[in-house]
Amino acid sequence: MAVVTTTQFCLAFALNFMFVFLPFYVHAISPLDEAATLRWTGLIVGAASATATFGSAFWGGLTSRYSPKVMLERGMLSHAILVGLMAFTTDLRLLLLIRIVQGCLGGISTIGLIIVSAISTQEQLPRRMGMYQSALTLGQIFSPPLGAMAAAAFGFRGAFLAASLMMFAIFLYCRFGLSPIPPRPRAVKGGGVPRRQLLLAWLLSFAGTIQIVFLPSVLPIILQVFDVADERQLVTAGVIVFAYGASAAAGSYCLARLADRIPGHRLLLASGLGASLFQVLLVLGAGPVSFTLIRMAQTFLAAGIFPVILSLVVARSGGATIGFINTARFAGNAAGPLVATFVLAHADLLTLYAILAAGLAGAAAAQYAGASPRLKNR
């Protein structure tokens, strides 16, 4: 458990190391106008998560025939190679292709969830799932500002190569540190969660993830609106992402703890509506500081949605259902940059914020309305 948790932390750190500077890299190598560059930014940033939505289910299914440890190692090694190739890519089409392949060979967090399930008893499972999710979130928090500073100090190529080397080191750590794990038998389909409720939970997880991940793809434009000097934009972006990432981690922990005292479906409704309100209030940010404070309040509420949903699912179903819910994060990670850049290419920031807020508020209301009266009190 210690090895797989540490592996997930380090992998999330390495992947998010380039998350902040990737949009700036696209802007730097793009020969196109601003609107076209925004569209390409959304495609490139979101491509890996889009294909991972399907690739993760495929690779996860293969754990019934092959060792989950082997599948985890395969994913990490492929990431290390592909990120290294990105360091030498200056063509937008080739960069998009690499990101698509990266997603097809990814979905590592799903394999990690399967491993946690394989090594845990039923009593240990909820606590260990929480540990695993915390490791992933912490890795996402600490890496963006360091990635931004690495790109500012060593250039984009040096930052990409640093991320690639980190992933290769993680591969070696997992290769020699994780015990052999036999293939997992296919889970028997459970009937604990009604299909309609499961789909609504997926939709709410998807909408909540979009609110968390959309911002980095449009930060170059937002920082231009705030008149931040070009030489300070990378580091400023890293600090903003770090700040709201820390708030998101705190929200995940605090709201998951509140789920023991407040019925989960009511908590999800309150979190979704509150995050939607603060999403619209982002337009009131007059500079990086006030904008970041509003964003921190928004992500505090939005980030708690997924672990609360996961806790409800874990209590009443098996690993296959958890894996399905996990695909909502991949889909949201893909859709967030795409929605943000495509809307902003044709409209203003207020329109973007309003669309994202309406999506989450609608999903939260639908999820609450779709729950049976009995489940609303659980």
Least confidently predicted of 109-118, 187-196, 221-230, 236-245:
187-196
Q: How far apart are CA 309 and CA 23, in angstroms?
A: 31
- pLDDT given at position 321: 66
CB-CB contact of 151 with 24 (8 Å): yes
Instruction: Band the pLDDT of 196: cuts 50, 70, 90.
Output: confident
Which among 331, 173, 67, 121 is positioned nearest to 129, based on CA atoms? 121
137 compared with 150, residue with greater pLDDT: 150
Residues 6+ apart with CB under 8 A from 24: 151, 156, 220, 233, 234, 237
Q: What is the DSSP string of 267-297?
A: HHHHHHHHHHHHHHHGGG--SHHHHHHHHHH
Q: Looking at the predicted structure, is the pLDDT value of residue 287 above 70?
A: yes
| Model confidence pLDDT, tens digit, residues 232-280 | 887 888 788 888 888 887 887 787 777 767 777 888 999 999 999 999 9
- pLDDT given at position 297: 95
CA distances from 345 to 254, 339, 360, 365 (A): 36, 10, 21, 29
CA dihedral of 256, 130, 132, 268, whole degrees rounded to 10? -30
- pLDDT given at position 356: 95
Structural tokens at position 294: 């509003």
Q: What is the DSSP string of 183-225?
A: PPPPPPPP-SS-HHHHHHHHHHHHHHHHHHHSGGGGHHHHHHH
Which among 333, 331, 317, 332 is positioned nearest to 117, based on CA atoms? 317
CB-CB contact of 183 with 64 (8 Å): yes
Q: Looking at the predicted structure, is the pLDDT value of residue 148 above 90?
A: no
The mean of the pLDDT values for the chain is: 83
83 compared with 256, residue with greater pLDDT: 83
Q: Looking at the predicted structure, is the pLDDT value of residue 291 above 80?
A: yes
- pLDDT given at position 277: 96
The angle subtended at Cα 232 by Cα 26 and Cα 249, nearest 5°, is 80
| Model confidence pLDDT, tens digit, residues 307-360 | 788 767 655 555 456 667 778 888 887 788 888 988 988 889 999 999 999 999
Delineate the domains of the chain, giving CATH numbers in brackets: 1-186 (1.20.1250.20), 194-378 (1.20.1250.20)
**Phi (first) and psi of residue 358, to 5 degrees:** -65, -40
- pLDDT given at position 204: 94
Instruction: Band the pLDDT of 185: cuts 50, 70, 90.
Output: low
- pLDDT given at position 177: 87
Residue given tokens 């019925």 in the structure block? 263
Q: Looking at the predicted structure, is the pLDDT value of residue 231 above 60?
A: yes
Which among 85, 50, 47 is positioned nearest to 328, based on CA atoms? 50
Mean pLDDT score, 42-70: 78
316 compared with 371, residue with greater pLDDT: 371
